[in-house]
Amino acid sequence: MAVSRINEAGLNVNQYGNRNIIINGSQIVNQRGTQTLTASATAQFGPDRFKLIAGGNVDNLVATIAQDSDVPSGSGFANSLKITTTTAESAIDAAEYVYLNHTIEAQNLQQLAYGTSSAKEVTLSFWVKSTITGTFAVGLYKPDSTSQIHVKTYTISSASTWEYKTVTFGANALSGGAIVDDNGSGIEVAWHLAVGSNFKGTDTSSGWAGYSSASWGNGQGTDAVITTTNATYQITGVQLEVGDTATDFEHRTFGDELQRCRRYFQKIGNVSGNAYTPLTPYFDAASSSVGYCPIPLIPKMRTVPSFTNSGVGELGLSIGTGTSAVSAAAVQAGQGGEDFIVIKFTSSDTLTQYRPMRVYANNDATAFLAFDSEL
């Protein structure tokens, strides 16, 4: 190729990697499985890095967030995120809201140069399908330092039909617009599904502005996804990239996306069809009743994670040739970090000090250990 052809016009920009700032935009990683949002559990992750959030005393709504195999034909996607309203909210009161969230780590956004004269535009693109038509708000919210927001709208024209949407957000050159270079929340992307009147009235569609509650979901034209029983809303192919033009979706391998997701959430176990999956490496009993197991976290997590497990009775110890039921206690204070964590296991049987053992799923294919450092 002549040297004169080696320039932007002569190259296929879609060959370049790391354009997509969104993690798991194709919804292929789904470590948690189907989750249900209720009045008592008003924030639930579905496919990794995407979370359904309700607030303001939403009291009737029951909705699931799940991975689904329904995708746009010929798009190259295998999965979508699907929200289903199984019990509708009777009405959206002034202080109520429901939205789909994706939060981006601040240090992954430094290329946007926010708060400077060199700030960049970004374009959000995605495929969407819903049983409800109408005007929907989608926004970027910057909680970092000075809270700022930019909300625009898109239209779903045909019910139960996949449609491709692109929305370009202006450069944020405002004073206080800088995103701190750390591991906190940089930008939240919010796809609004229901918006009470308290969160409408301030228009930021023309550019970034200081945050006010009245700007949160301004422009939302319908709440029917949330107020209609069996209504559905699906999304896939989510991409956020620098510039004013959407390019073809950047497909990454499952392994690549999984590693990115595991910075925020790691789950061990819950292997379908295998009721005796080992959940930990071998470790030694510290006494006749207690073992401390160091578990490597790969990759290094965003912060020291919180720890949950599938519950007493779903774990067991391998002790030589025998087994013993155990309970998994909380992570011990001061024992752990972003790249490893120590868990204390307590056995109701007598252990032999220094004898190697490991924890496994005790005849339960859903048993798990989970580590969470989500934003």
Tell me the pLDDT tens digit for each residue of 320-372: 555 666 665 555 655 789 999 988 887 777 778 888 887 877 777 788 889 99
Ordered strands of the 209-210 beta sheet? 43-45, 51-55, 97-105, 185-195, 134-142, 148-156, 209-210
Average pLDDT for the chain: 90
If phi > 0 it is left, if psi is from -120 to 50 it is alpha, else beta; for residue 191 that is beta
Task: Give the residue from 107, 63, 110 showing the smallest Cα distance to 85.
Answer: 63
Q: Give the pLDDT confidence score for residue 335 in this predicted structure.
A: 76
Task: Give the residue from 304, 299, 310 showing the smallest Cα distance to 269.
Answer: 310
d(CA 115, CA 180) in angstroms, rounded, equals 10
Which of 108-112, 270-274, 364-368 has the least mean pLDDT? 270-274
Distance of CA 82 to the CA centre of its chain: 13
Over residues 10-48, the pLDDT tens digits come to 444 444 678 999 999 999 999 999 999 999 999 999 999
Count the Cβ atoms, other than its own, within 10 Å of residue 367. Answer: 27
Over residues 227-245, the pLDDT tens digits come to 999 999 999 999 999 999 9
Distance of CA 148 to the CA centre of its chain: 21
What are the structure tokens assigned to 101, written together? 């969230």
d(CA 67, CA 304) in angstroms, rounded, equals 27
* CA-atom Rg of the chain in angstroms: 23
| Tokens 């024209």 found at | 157
Q: Give the pLDDT confidence score for residue 35 in this predicted structure.
A: 97
Q: Which residue type, as a one-letter code, is found at position 265?
A: F
Over residues 183-227, the pLDDT tens digits come to 999 999 999 999 999 999 999 999 999 999 999 999 999 999 999
d(CA 192, CA 356) in angstroms, rounded, equals 51
d(CA 28, CA 47) in angstroms, rounded, equals 7
Secondary structure (3-state) at 265: strand
Q: Give the pLDDT confidence score for residue 318 in this predicted structure.
A: 63
Q: Tell me if the pTM is above 0.75.
A: yes
Q: Which residue type, as a one-letter code, is found at position 229?
A: T
Model confidence at 168, in pLDDT bands (50, 70, 90)?
very high
Q: Give the pLDDT confidence score for residue 16 in this predicted structure.
A: 63
Q: Give the pLDDT confidence score for residue 276 in this predicted structure.
A: 73
